[in-house]
Structure 1
């Protein structure tokens, strides 16, 4: 029997696709898993529309319900064994104006909706076996209103009160098959009544080895380098690029492309080894490559006192020989590596999707261009989701 899964704050379905499986990425098959997603939900219309445009998600599972989860009664959600929730991360993010649980829109407390639904299912006699929460690493230091208790401590306390053993780990997606240095916190709870203890995050590494998945830390990472990921992307139909503003474009032009040039693509052939690549393909660029006299007053201020400003890497351009940094929802070059290594433009939608490990057949439906970048940046990388799902399914009892 398949494991019954419910998904909250589903976004465009990155984590759900991981828990479903049955997709290919960069020539590697991620097998269909023995799961059935019976409920998915998001409040963002573009994210829900994007989710529902994908047979990869909806052919065997539920459509994404467009509704504020705070207005959804627990008994309207089918009973489930595993709960997935990437509750909105912006209040906890290091990339934005961090507010934690005091976010003006109430997003910082949305993890309490997960608690409400799990508790209601327990009270109704349908005790979930496990939950998987995902969030940005800023949550680790985000505080509850008392100013002392961290949000993870609060989650742990509440879930322990309901009888769940909780494990938490800060992971980097590039360690688990994703071509992106994306740090996220995974929180996995296991029903103590199952008598199997806590989930062991070392089991993720075992999945990497068993399925020969590329990894920055646990194996070979050639397949994760930008030069590999961008191969053939121009052949994908309906790819589009969101242009930069005039001011931003000027900065990008001044920085210039990485020194290796487009001819470096020729190094990234099947079976190449990183050790054989010339040093130039590892050399990225940033605002620091703009001549001082051409810097804006803002950047001159930072350049004059780099210690004060922690020498930020605005307008980072990752080289073909590097693993890209985090793709964010804003898709702005000031705070993430979103600019092509050689061409003076933002990554295309499909290039961003590949960096997030979405398969090329993933559809964005008819949602607006800027929203495509947003839903990609907010998503959990599907390959990371698949690795977590595979390890969790191996850990849980079959019944």
Structure 2
């Protein structure tokens, strides 16, 4: 039997407030009323990004799980209740889970991403097949609905066959679904070019008919708004071998550059490229900036900001930067999740 943590909810992390006010306070009250006592299961929880978005919209987390032990340090530091249960999801029995109404899961995306070489269901580490554990739990527990998140390439992987299997599996379980690719810089007011596919499902056909994904909003937050004034020298390339290769190309404040192993590429959109799990370990998508003092990479805290985590979200001092970079890159854009969760609540 797995340990279950069910207590009163306390929100420790607060995300960027990005939902534009329409002046209709009754709508906000309706959302809160609709989510009262709506319990969520947080699978592949990582550091709690999806949880934060749903709790902001009024949902309550009753269980959280991830396979990565290091995630527990970060997760438990920021959430008082429903601590992270570190367990292989393939070994979790559906009947051991607490009562819940909505299943949430940003299931592993490396098997379907360009950075992960898009092996899909054939991924030798089994990351692509973990979707079927989600389906197994949904089949056994029959929640009211769910939200699933993955890379946009999931939709086109294997000529569309992978997504076809996922869609047909969910529909065969008795759910009506809607899905859409949303970019963080267009739907979260965060200057990161991050496209993800979001799959929303409900058992009730009337609810899915009322549900609509959020509309795009203006991007008013700039890269410079996300940067620290003072940064430890270890993040600067000044004096390091790479510096001589990039110093002439990385020279504009307010721009983010990508180190592409052999050359530097300026991001033409003036936003941060997609944060990835391997960026802290010499990956090809390392974000680089010139801050007026020198050329440096983004810090872990800045990367968390670019996912919508505010500074009261705690980063464990005992974890190395490489692990924090991975956690930020594997996480979700919290403001986008919050807006989707709010739309789900409005449809109830």
Label 1:3 to 1:248 Cα distance change in 2 as closer, same or farther (>3 A).
Answer: farther
Partner of residue 220, structure 2: 222
Contact 1:8 1:41 in 2 (8 A): yes
Give the structure with higher Rg (CA): 1
2:16 paired with 1:68: no
Contact 1:189 1:199 in 2 (8 A): no
Q: 1:158 deviation in Å? A: 1.0
Where do residues 175-214 of structure 1 align in structure 2 (5 Å cutoff)? 175-177=186-188, 178-192=190-204, 195-198=206-209, 200-202=211-213, 204-205=214-215
Long gaps (5+) in structure 1: 22-32, 122-126, 206-216, 262-280, 289-297, 300-313
Label 1:156 to 1:369 Cα distance change in 2 as closer, same or farther (>3 A).
Answer: same
Q: 2:71 aligns with which of 34, 44, 47?
A: 47
SS in 2 for 1:5: strand
Partner of residue 303, structure 1: none
Partner of residue 356, structure 1: 307
Q: 1:337 deviation in Å? A: 5.3
Partner of residue 276, structure 2: 328
Q: 1:128 deviation in Å? A: 0.9
Long gaps (5+) in structure 2: 1-35
Contact 1:240 1:349 in 2 (8 A): no
Q: d(CA) in 2 for partners of 1:252 and 1:287?
A: 9
Label 1:183 to 1:255 Cα distance change in 2 as closer, same or farther (>3 A).
Answer: same
Normalised TM-score (structure 2): 0.80
Deviations 1:281-309 (CA, angstroms, capped at 9, x unpaired): 6x765679xxxxxxxxx95xxxxxxxxxx
Q: 1:254 deviation in Å? A: 4.3
Q: 1:96 aligns with which of 107, 112, 116?
A: 116
Label 1:117 to 1:360 Cα distance change in 2 as closer, same or farther (>3 A).
Answer: same
Where do residues 1-399 of structure 1 align in structure 2 (5 Å cutoff)? 1-21=36-56, 33-54=57-78, 58-59=79-80, 61-121=81-141, 127-143=142-158, 150-177=161-188, 178-192=190-204, 195-198=206-209, 200-202=211-213, 204-205=214-215, 217-219=216-218, 221-223=219-221, 225-230=222-227, 233-234=228-229, 246-258=240-252, 261=253, 299=262, 315-318=264-267, 322-331=270-279, 335-336=284-285, 338-342=287-291, 343-365=294-316, 366-396=318-348
Label 1:155 to 1:222 Cα distance change in 2 as closer, same or farther (>3 A).
Answer: same
Alignment length (residue pairs): 307
Label 1:284 to 1:149 Cα distance change in 2 as closer, same or farther (>3 A).
Answer: closer
Normalised TM-score (structure 1): 0.70
Q: 1:7 deviation in Å? A: 0.9
Deviations 1:320-342 (CA, angstroms, capped at 9, x unpaired): x8222211111167632511233
Q: 1:356 deviation in Å? A: 1.2
Runs of 4+ in 1 over 4 A off after TM superposition: 239-247, 283-288
Root mean square deviation of aligned Cα: 2.7
Contact 2:39 2:62 in 1 (8 A): yes
Label 1:180 to 1:322 Cα distance change in 2 as closer, same or farther (>3 A).
Answer: same
Q: d(CA) in 2 for partners of 1:242 and 1:235?
A: 11
Contact 1:338 1:346 in 2 (8 A): yes
Q: 1:149 deviation in Å? A: 5.8
Deviations 1:33-59 (CA, angstroms, capped at 9, x unpaired): 3211001100011112211111xxx23
